[in-house]
Chains A and B, each alone.
Chain A
Amino acid sequence: MRLEERPASSFFQRIPAISATPRSFLAAILSVTCVLSLTVELPASAAIPAVAKEKKPKADPALKGLPITELSPDEAILHALNRLAYGPRPGDVERVQQMGLAKWIEQQLNPNSIDDRAMEARLQDYPTLRMSTAKLIDEYPQPKQAEKQAQQVQAQARQERRRSDAAVIVVEKDTQNAPEQPANSEAPAMTSASAPQPWPDNPSAAAPMKQPAQGKAATNGTGRRDVLGGGDPNNVPRAIADDSKRPQRVVAELGMAKVTRAIYSERQLQQVMNDFWFNHFNVFAGKGEDRYYLTSYERDVIQPHAFGKFKDLVTATAKSPAMLFYLDNFLSVDPRAAQRQAAERAMRQQRRRGGFGWPPRPTANPQQPPKKNDRGLNENYGRELMELHTLGVDGGYTQKDVTEVARCFTGWTIDKPRQYADFKFDDRLHDPDTKIVLGKKIHAGGMKDGEQLIDMLAHHPSTAKFISTKLARRFVSDNPPPALVSRLAETFQSSDGDIHAVLKTMIWSPEFWSRESYRAKIKTPFELVVSAVRALGTDVDTPMPLVQWVARIGEPLYQCQPPTGYADKAEAWVNTGALLNRLNYSLALAGNKMRGARTDVTSLLGVDSSADPKTALDRAVRVFLGGQAGPTTVETLEKQLDNPQVLQAKLDDPRKQVDLGVVAGLVLGAPEFQRR
């Protein structure tokens, strides 16, 4: 037996689509069969509209002006909608075709030229989006202990009611509570290379109705939560309900607004870029006061600069209370500042006592050991500014540079963090001496030290390369072609870090439109959730369940604890647990089991439930996958649809009925839909 196996597997190893572990040997054979059949039939275009097929790609007027040679017109438009937007809605491909792809892209690159009032109207439901930080702190205070307990009792009653409601519509679900935003944590209790998950204090399914334990649950003010993130996403915790005035509501509205924008905004590329930059300059909502600062951070810092100059973006983040708090810079001070201040105080006293006759000398003893509550240097921001925001970890800096950068930013702090939280430069806390960063002397003085440093970092060649690589990874492929990255870096440097110009260079590069990059990216959980809603044309009234699904699939919004942000490579998102949740999400959404979201699958597919299941399947593949499913996917699904269970026989109706929600759910769960 083993002799038979060996030559076979060495043969199969040469085929890239095969994983050659002994365990998957059989599966490998199956794949080979598929590969072979694919080579005959690719491009798998059974359902590409006939019009498109007849035209030669180059001649198509819809693609005019773009360096597209390897993709068909339909593929190119789909590609653009998947990369520069969150996937096509019903009719989008036709619309872009009519307008011309280049024109659509130009519009997306200039988002202010696009009317987005319909989406803005949807955001009216979230008043916190327009509030100042001061107002948020004022209107969404940390509840006091007594209030908390009263709310717990209420919440429990409500939960029981909700639970019984939900039980009616959800066929398979357990009795757990919904996941919730991680509670306030000065000591955020979990990170991981993977995603921080919402977590509960008492997830025991055996005793779901028990009063939450006091202590942690009470101090966090959130009641029971599901630590492992397995609750029912339809179930919205009390603290983030529509009428909640708890701080968790502020972050919940951010999440709902983000999902709403990604689904409904006409300014799609703007949303993609906002997401990119927020992730690049990540701030974790679970760290203390940051829950109040993120609204302004996203609205006033990230969004306005998303297509602007990179230096302005870095400067704005450096001065934002959100970043100052998240990476501790607001606490970083010159260690000698306290002594200096003591000396000045002494000087003033002396002056008062001795009149104005002579300049007094400082009297504080410089040898005196620092007191316990004297503050000093904190290098957290200095390091991440270089490693994650500008130069990249290989950008050529040393530990000494990190300390020097931290010295430059001493005194960059937050004025009244618990009242209005404005940026403040406090000269008394700033290290006045010369610093040397990357071999260059920084001695501009005061706040200019930090500004000069940002200018230097933003224009550094390592930064150009690092940012270009990340952009190309987001828009082209996990390992983007080096030639493309260098081209982007050149534009970055020659345009003074103009993000708009870099994007243009990228989109007008042939690598962006190569066959190799087509469907090369695995969708992140956020992209998957949003693109499925768009594909179905679902009307979303209450986005909270969608927000909770994004978390469950592995990317809780605003909850990425480490400053790296979420990974942008397939490995981070492809695994058993996440895959299963993707499938379950597709079933729930297409099956109309998502609270606050309505999908009309019948009119979307243009067939009704009395249709032949194969017709329904063909339509679903055409609508959701642009007609481009691998032949095996279609074949496999056709076989499954012969299963009598798909054809539900109703008692009072002799005809067989196709469950269109199941058909749609299967197709949205197909491997092809996991890619963009």
Chain B
Amino acid sequence: MKYKCCEGVRDLRFSRRYFLKQGGVAMAGLSAMPAFLQRAVAATPMPNKKQLVVLFQRGAADGLNIVVPFGESNYYRMRPTIAIPQPKRGGTDAAIDLDGFFGLHPSLAPLEPLFRKNQLAIVHAAGSPDPTRSHFDAQDFMESGTPGLRSTEDGWLNRALETVPEENASPFRAVAMGPNLPRMLHGGAPAIALPDLKQFKVMAQAPGTGQMVEGGFEAMYSQTVDHALHGTGTETFEAIDLLRKADPAKYQPENGAQYPTNRLGQSLQQIGQLLKADIGVEVLFVDCGGWDNHVNEGGVQGQLSNLLKDLGQGLAAFHRDMGDRMENIVFVTMSEFGRTAKENGNRGTDHGHANCMLLMGGDVQGRQVYGKWPGLNDHQLNDGRDLALTTDFRSVVGEILTKHLGVKGLDSVFPGFDNNPRKFLGLLRT
């Protein structure tokens, strides 16, 4: 028997929805176990699942100033005004030495202890191999998971979920924080966009009509023939229902974690909240922008530095808040491409190629900068101007999906790519 869930029927908290859909079942004359029952079962806690959080830095973050190759003199030659100084004893306005060659931007100081504790790893000179320098195309490729191929309609994160089908998946299995669903989560597996947990409900305006109004909308959307709206509508109302039970209003971050007060920080806090609610979350997506610093990027201080402060504090707060749960979580960052190795005429950087990725979590074999360093001599640069690419982001993600989420068919997640596990960098414990 696949569905051992008769208790679930008795304990049905989806009562209104139950009758609604039950009516539908009778109409269609079907005796199969209806989907809502499977989901009711799924609503019970499932804390042992592995979870993945993907952070997309939109606008092409400057990887060379985030994880600084301070051991390369070329770096200082090419960036006369924006380079991060070499590490110095007791100095806070210089790179934080990681391994004698690479250093963290000083604004990422909150991440240093995580690196030392094996919780944080870095992959450098990584990214999408497509040569485009268009933000739009590059983001599209990195999210579709098929660089260079525009016809792909869905995103790799969604396809990854489809390879591990869950017939009784929670409506929160895949969640994007924000008003819109990112390309990465488009596809056949249900995924929801959550702008703000506190506001995720139908707000009836006339007293006492709440239930009726919500029921009316729900019924319309569950029965509409509008293909695009039908699925979204169903997901919306399931999520509202489940979230009501999880009662996110009660939430307080733990272990003294302090999230930054900007959008990224607050989104990370809500991600933490969703994970702790044990409502079947498996993958989460969040993005942040502002990385496209063509002008006055700054070095130790400045625009990039400010963004990194929020990023560093946000990740550290999340790690602290999650506590032991970090054992089941992998957090990975990516950005559509890197920036020119040389600074431009406006003390900024233009669109480049390879970048760095950060990985954080209990399964991560931290304390290491992975990947082959291509060097920054003129002849080593991509197109004579950018950090060359030595690690395809799909190998990094592929390893996480395989080892962490248990995805088996990487070839359908990244079609046309060599997904051989032997090419994994060994970023995660097996």
Contacts and interface: CB of A to CB of B under 8 A. Distances in A.
Contacts of B351: 379, 383
A230 B208 contact: no
Contact of B198 (A201, A205, A669): A205
Contacts of A661: 205-206
Interface string B202-229: 1111111111110111011111111111
Nearest to B298: A187
A188 B263 CA distance: 12
A30 B266 contact: no
Interface in B166-193: 167, 169, 176, 178-183, 186, 188-190, 192-193
Given A1-B3, A376-B344, A21 B188 contact: yes
B403 to A, nearest CB: 26
A52 to B, nearest CB: 23
Contacts of A2: 2
Interface string B288-313: 11101111100000011011001000
B205 A31 contact: no
A328 B24 CA distance: 58
B224 A630 contact: yes
B306 to A, nearest CB: 6
B261 A213 contact: yes
A99 B299 CA distance: 65
Given A171-B204, A577-B200, A199 B216 contact: no
Interface in A202-236: 202-205, 213, 216, 227-230
Contacts of B188: 19-21
A190 B229 contact: no
Interface string A442-475: 0000000000000000000000000000000000
Contacts, number: 368
Contact of B196 (A196, A230, A375, A579): A230
Interface string A183-197: 001111111111111
Q: Which of A187, A188, A377, A583 has the most CB of B within 10 A?
A: A187
B212 A645 contact: yes
A333 B210 CA distance: 61
B236 A579 contact: yes
B420 interface: no
A520 B43 CA distance: 36
Contacts of A213: 261
B227 A648 contact: no
B194 to A, nearest CB: 6
Contacts of B288: 189-190, 192
Interface in A153-193: 170-174, 176, 185-193
Interface string A112-146: 00000000000000000000000000000000000
Contacts of B194: 576-577
A216 to B, nearest CB: 8
Nearest to A187: B303
A630 B345 CA distance: 59
A352 interface: no
Contacts of B39: 23
Contacts of B232: 574-576, 579
A675 B58 CA distance: 30
Interface in A610-641: 630, 632-633, 636-637, 639-641
B87 to A, nearest CB: 23
B32 A195 contact: no
B190 to A, nearest CB: 6
B98 interface: no
B223 A193 contact: no
A269 interface: no
Nearest to A381: B294
Contacts of A670: 220
A328 B198 contact: no
B289 A29 contact: no
A399 B383 contact: yes
Contact of A554 (B24, B179, B203): B179
A438 interface: no
Contacts of A666: 213, 216-217, 220
B290 A580 contact: no
A387 interface: yes
Contact of B206 (A174, A191, A659): A659
B9 to A, nearest CB: 15
A671 interface: yes
Given A187-B307, A189-B307, A378 B294 contact: yes
A308 interface: no
B294 A380 contact: yes
B262 A572 contact: no
A18 B227 contact: yes
A580 B222 CA distance: 14
Interface string B234-247: 11100110000000
Contacts of B25: 26, 29
A561 B287 CA distance: 14
Contacts of A376: 344-346
B32 A5 contact: yes
B182 A665 contact: no
B169 A383 contact: no
A542 interface: no
Contact of A564 (B133, B136, B267): B136
B223 A30 contact: yes
Contacts of B350: 378-380
A577 B179 contact: yes
B211 A331 contact: no
B190 A21 contact: yes
A32 B21 CA distance: 14
A576 B233 CA distance: 7
Contacts of B2: 1-2
A16 interface: yes
B113 interface: no
Contacts of B226: 17, 630, 671-672, 674-675
B192 to A, nearest CB: 4
A373 B345 CA distance: 8
Contact of A573 (B180, B183, B295): B180
B409 interface: no
A591 B206 contact: yes
Q: Which of B183, B264, B289 has the most CB of A within 10 A?
A: B289
A186 B296 contact: yes
B262 A593 contact: no
Contact of A17 (B167, B225, B236, B292): B225
A328 B351 CA distance: 14
Contacts of A420: none
B289 A393 contact: no
B261 A227 contact: yes
Contacts of A554: 179-180
Interface of A: 1-2, 4-5, 8, 16-27, 29-35, 38, 170-174, 176, 185-197, 199-205, 213, 216, 227-230, 328, 331-333, 335, 372-380, 383, 387-388, 393, 399, 402, 522, 552-554, 561-562, 564, 570-581, 583-584, 587-588, 591, 593, 630, 632-633, 636-637, 639-641, 643, 645-646, 648, 659, 661-662, 665-666, 669-672, 674-675
25 contacts: A1-B33, A21-B188, A30-B223, A170-B205, A171-B203, A171-B207, A186-B296, A190-B290, A191-B58, A196-B289, A227-B261, A227-B262, A228-B195, A228-B196, A333-B345, A374-B345, A393-B134, A552-B179, A640-B215, A641-B216, A643-B212, A662-B206, A669-B220, A671-B226, A674-B229
Given A30-B27, A171-B206, 6 more contacts: A17-B225, A17-B230, A193-B58, A393-B136, A580-B201, A648-B208
Interface of B: 2-3, 21, 24-25, 27-28, 30-36, 39, 56, 58-59, 80-81, 131-137, 139, 143, 165, 167, 169, 176, 178-183, 186, 188-190, 192-196, 198-213, 215-217, 219-236, 239-240, 249, 261-267, 270, 287-290, 292-296, 303-304, 306-307, 310, 344-348, 350-351, 383
- 8 nearest CB pairs, A to B: A376-B345, A191-B289, A194-B180, A591-B205, A230-B196, A187-B303, A228-B196, A230-B199
